[in-house]
Each structure stands twice: as C-alpha cells, then as structure tokens.
Amino acid sequence: MTVSTVSVDSLAIEPSLKYLITELEELYGQMDRLYAQKSAHYGFECTGCRENCCLTRFYHHTFLEYIYLRKGFAGLPASKQAAARQRAEAYLDVLAKSESGQNGPPFRRMCPLNESGWCLLYAWRPMICRLHGIPHEFAPPGRSNRVYGEGCAEFIAACGHLPYSPFDRTPFYVRMSELEGRLRKSLAVSGKSKKTNAHMLVQDEVPVDAVY
Ligand code: SF4
C-alpha cells in the first residue's frame, strides 16, 4: 500500500461527498442551536473581546472539516482568497517560531480568516469555533472520567457566578468522528490531520491510500 494525495479542492466538489456534507451541515446546525440555547440561558452574548477566541491557536483534526472549509473558501472573491492566504503564510511563520521556542510568549495571533473582526467563513467555520466560549463537558474515549471546561474569560467575567447548565459536547464529537470515518472509508483518505485554519488555507493535498 502506498500513500498518494488528492487535491482538497477536488474533494470539495466530489459528488459522492454530497450527502456527507449535508450531514456535516446538519451536525453544525445542531451545535449552533444548542449553543444558542445555552447562551440564552446564561444571558451570555459574545460581542468580541480582548481574549477573542479567533486569536487562539486551535487545531482541527478532521479531513471532513478541512474539505468543508475549503468548499466555503472557494466561494470567496479571488482578492479575499489571496489576502487570507497571505495572512495564513505570515501566521504559520510566527507559529513555527513559537513552536520552536524562539518566540517567548504564548502564541496569540489572529486567525487569517478574520477580517476586521468578522469571520470570512462564518457559515463554514469548524466545530471548535462553534463550541468555544460557554462551560461544557465531554467524555473522552476510553476514559471513565468526564472533562469539564469553564468557558472563556469573557464568559467567566460575565456569567461565571451562575450555576452550570449541562452542555455535553460528547454527542457532537462522536458524530463528527463517525462522519470522518465514513469519509476515510469511502475515499481511502488516510493518515492524521492536525491543522490550524492557516494550514487549511495554504495546504492543498489530502493523503489517500493508493494500491499498486
Ligand atoms: S474560522 Fe472564523 S470563527 Fe474560527 S477562528 Fe477563524 S475567524 Fe474566528
């Protein structure tokens, strides 16, 4: 078995992925609805803040979200694409220095998809961008204890005194993993994916198993 690659943009328009993409959109819709319900419960509204989660180095781990983000990216005007890719290159330079320990303070840099405070791909943004901010829990696979998160600094300042209202991410993670598994099986996508949004803008290949 040899590993080959296919273009992520060709997968983004691959007809056999149509139903998987629809299911991903349904899953995103479920996340957004539960998030909105919980935010309303706390009376918490994200209006932008100093902590800004778009400055956080989030890694995304599914090829399905990579393909989906690129599907949205393909719909941006060429000038916006070029500018975002330029920001992504600069982002990755700073990230590489930070991760090699040359840059001192913890990595904080605006996501290349954020333009003047607005997400260029809001409807296409990955799962973690949708779930970040409010207190949550999840059950990691193979472990008996649950993990709890207290929410972002803005949430803690505004609503941290309020009792926790259960927001279990586990069903979302499980469903995402199931959709990713189906993508991998149907198109022989292989290997691990660990990408920031910047990686997703500048990298163009998805590894696939090729049998010779
Ligand atoms: S994809 Fe959009 S919401 Fe997510 S970090 Fe980037 S700008 Fe922010």
| Mean pLDDT calculated for residue range 166-172 | 97
The reply to whether ligand 1 has any atom less than 6 angstroms from the CB of 114 is: yes
Rounded to whole angstroms, the Cα distance separating 105 from 212 reads 48
For residue 89, the number of C-alpha atoms closer than 13 Å in the C-beta half-sphere is: 5
Atom of ligand 1 nearest to the CA of 122: 2
Give the residue numbers spanning the domain of 15: 2-74+122-210
Nearest residue by C-alpha to atom 5 in ligand 1: 54
In a domain, 110, yes or no: no
**Cβ distance 21 to 77 under 8 Å?**
no
In a domain, 84, yes or no: no
Please state, rounded to an integer, the average pLDDT across all residues of the chain: 92
In a domain, 111, yes or no: no
Tokens describing residue 170: 């586990």
For 106-165, the pLDDT digits (tens) are: 788 999 999 988 899 999 999 999 999 999 999 998 888 999 999 998 899 999 999 999
In a domain, 106, yes or no: no
In a domain, 150, yes or no: yes
Q: Distances in Å between the alpha carbon of 163 and those of 26, 135, 168?
A: 29, 10, 15
Reported pTM: 0.93
The reply to whether ligand 1 has any atom less than 6 angstroms from the CB of 201 is: no
For 69-100, the pLDDT digits (tens) are: 999 999 999 999 999 999 999 999 999 988 88
Residues of the chain above pLDDT 70, percent: 95
The reply to whether ligand 1 has any atom less than 6 angstroms from the CB of 84 is: no
For 1-14, the pLDDT digits (tens) are: 687 999 999 999 99
In a domain, 41, yes or no: yes
Residues 6 or more apart whose CB falls under 8 angstroms from that of 68 comprise: 12, 21, 24, 124
